[in-house]
Amino acid sequence: MKQPAKLLFATNFSPAARVALEALQKLQEHYQLNVNFIYVITSFWKDWLTSGQYETEARQRLETWQRKLEHIKENHKHELFVEKGNSADNILKIANTINPDLIFLGSGKSSKHGRYHTSYTAESVVKNAKQSVWLCKTNKIGRILCAVDGSKNSAKALKEALEIAKVFNAKMCIAHVLHRVDVALGMSDEELRRAEEKYKAEVVDKLQNFYMDFDFESVQPEFMYPWGNPAKIILDLAEDHDKDLIVMGAKGQSGVRNVLMGGTASRILRHAPCSLYVVR
């Protein structure tokens, strides 16, 4: 995250948003943040029936939340937005208007069919934003998991993850998931084992060259090369090892507004058990 950084913090004043605010307070202890707030009134009739009073009350509450960030001074102007309509659409609209470095929002950890499930609003914002998005589910930043595949997108993600790990003195794990080797007809178990060893050695060698552009000395991360489905493995690692934050890169773009994330990234977004930082 660059210094200073402009943020757009989307809140609905829920418990999940309060957790996000606590995390943001920790970030602003280490970063110069220019934080802009947005609240979306999803019920037009609620505001209309109160002759605009609901909007006034929402703006007053945003001001209260804004003052909770210690670096914000009374005489320093930070934008407060109260919009009406669809939450995700309005967050994206304001983001396109002010062009923040990062969109920051909370999302509670609800369980669905045995896996955590990200809210529709949060998922829509992450998928469609042109900016990096931090989907906050915990105020802790002590254990970081960064998923890499050797691409330029994952290089950006790794750079951000390393910086955050250094700032917060966090433990860090860097994971690259290995795909299963195709089994040829008649291949013995020993032949399969040798093929897997050769494939893993080739991947690790390529990633060692990829890692040469990064400074790991002050972080000393753990490097992991597990086998399996990338999305499932990353989710399993985050859940089983109590990670606080997953950092990963988004995939390619489609059109001016929509970002088409890869299947792996989309599944991680949908079921992340902890905070998720999608870097663009």
Q: Average pLDDT of the chain?
A: 87
Q: In this model, does residue 72 exceed pLDDT 60?
A: no
Query: Does residue 175 have a pLDDT over 90?
Result: yes
pLDDT at residue 35 tops 50: yes
Domains of the chain: 1-139 (3.40.50.620), 141-280 (3.40.50.620)
Instruction: State the pLDDT confidence band at 255, using cuts at 50, 70 and 90.
Output: very low
Burial class (CB in 10 A: 0-12, 13-18, 19+), 26: middle
Task: Give the mean pLDDT of 55-60.
Answer: 90
Among 11-20, 186-195, 239-248, whose mean pLDDT is lowest? 186-195
pLDDT of residue 156 exceeding 90: yes
Q: Which pLDDT value is given to residue 171?
A: 97
pLDDT digits (tens, 9 = 90+) for 81-118: 999 999 999 999 999 999 999 999 998 766 666 678 88
- Averaged pLDDT, 14-27: 94
Q: How far is CA 21 from the centre of its chain?
A: 15
Give the closest residue to 66 by CA, choosing from 121, 106, 8. 8
Residues 267, 259: Cα–Cα separation, whole Å = 15
pLDDT value for 179: 87
Q: What percent of the chain has pLDDT over 90?
A: 65
Q: pTM higher than 0.85 for the full model?
A: yes
Q: What mean pLDDT comes out for the span 205-209?
A: 95
H/E stretch holding 231: helix 230-240
Q: For residue 17, what are the contacts with CB-CB under 8 A and spacing of at least 6?
A: 11, 105, 106
Tell me: pLDDT of 262 over 70: no
The reported pLDDT for the residue numbered 253 is 36
For the residues 190-194, what does the mean pLDDT come to?
A: 84
Q: What is the mean pLDDT of residues 123-128?
A: 93
Beta carbons within 8 Å of 279's beta carbon, 6+ residues apart = 132, 153, 156, 157, 160, 247, 248, 249, 250
Looking at residue 252, what is its pLDDT?
35
Q: What is the mean pLDDT of residues 74-85?
A: 78
Mean pLDDT of 248-276: 70
Nearest to 236 by CA among 116, 121, 152, 102: 116
pLDDT at 42 over 80: yes
Cis amide linkage into residue 4, ω under 30° from 0: yes
Question: What does the alpha-carbon distance between residue 278 and residue 261 come to, in Å, rounded to a whole number?
Answer: 10
pLDDT for 161 equals: 97
Percent of the chain with pLDDT over 70: 86
Q: Comparing 1-15, 180-194, 228-242, which segment has the lowest mean pLDDT? A: 180-194
Q: Which of 3-7, 45-49, 68-72, 147-151 has the lowest mean pLDDT?
A: 45-49
* pLDDT score at 260: 39
**Angle of helix 263-271 relative to helix 230-240, nearest 10 degrees?**
30
Per-residue pLDDT at 259: 38
